[in-house]
Amino acid sequence: MTGPEGEPALAAVLTAAGADPGVRGVVLTGSAARDLRGPHSDVDVFVVVDDPSGRETTRRPEIDTIIVTLDELRAVPAPPVDDERWWTRYAFADARVLVDRTDGELPNLVQSWATLTDAEVEAVLAAYLDGYLNLIYRSLKSDRDGRLMERRLDAAESVAWLLWTVFALHGRVRPYNKYLRFELDRRPLPPAWDGLLDDLAAILDDGDAAAQRRVFRLVESGVRARGHGERIDGWAGELPLLRGETDDG
């Protein structure tokens, strides 16, 4: 067997799962599932059970074996939740179901963790869009007033809020930073967003005002396209500065 499934640590997990009727599934995640393993990468695998009694998550240099119940997977964490379960959702993007004894329920649950429903998109926008707008507004005010360090700090802080917003606008969970470039290569955003990585680099390097405005205009268009223009219109007095439509902006 080739691939991560043939490696001794994962092969042992799969052999044990095959002999254990209490195991309902095995899901490969992380860099191994994405074919991105480097010399320091391990293997990440979820072992899905009904009853976790007598089982425990183990973390070794070669493999992390995470015990999770089927009921826990059924309880997909709703955004925004400031806990590990919410952040774990992206772990299931590109995950490979290696064992399934749920009559197809497990692959569907994996998909539910990796993507956002329309209701979840609205919840993410409610949680992150206004924070993003607040931070770029502060950054662009500092740019206007010649406070370059402050411009840079607020611009850098805005990026996390921005990424939640951008991926939510496309029905997707924000990728971990490690996988951002991979995610955009594997599943590109619409062509209008092709310059996103370059703009992010410019924003993070020095809070580049032009890059911030380019991205803002794309966000504004996406928010309005989803029928939530009121979230932008609430910033009506600041929109010329955000868009770069003023002589002093």
Residues 6+ apart with CB under 8 A from 181: 197
The predicted structure's pLDDT at residue 80: 73
The DSSP letter of residue 172 is: B
pLDDT tens for residues 158-201?
A: 999 999 999 999 999 999 999 999 999 999 999 999 999 999 99
DSSP at 177: G
Percent of the chain having pLDDT more than 90? 84
Query: Which conformational region is residue 31 in: left (phi greater than 0), alpha (psi within -120 to 50 degrees), or beta?
Result: alpha
Return d(Cα 138, Cα 36) in angstroms, integer.
38
127 closest CA partner among 69, 79, 64, 67: 79
Binned at pLDDT 50, 70 and 90, residue 2 comes out as: low
Q: Which residues pair with 49 in a beta bridge?
A: 23, 69
Query: Average pLDDT in the 51-75 region?
Result: 94
* Confidence at residue 82, expressed as pLDDT on a 0 to 100 scale: 61
Residues 30-42 have a mean pLDDT of 80
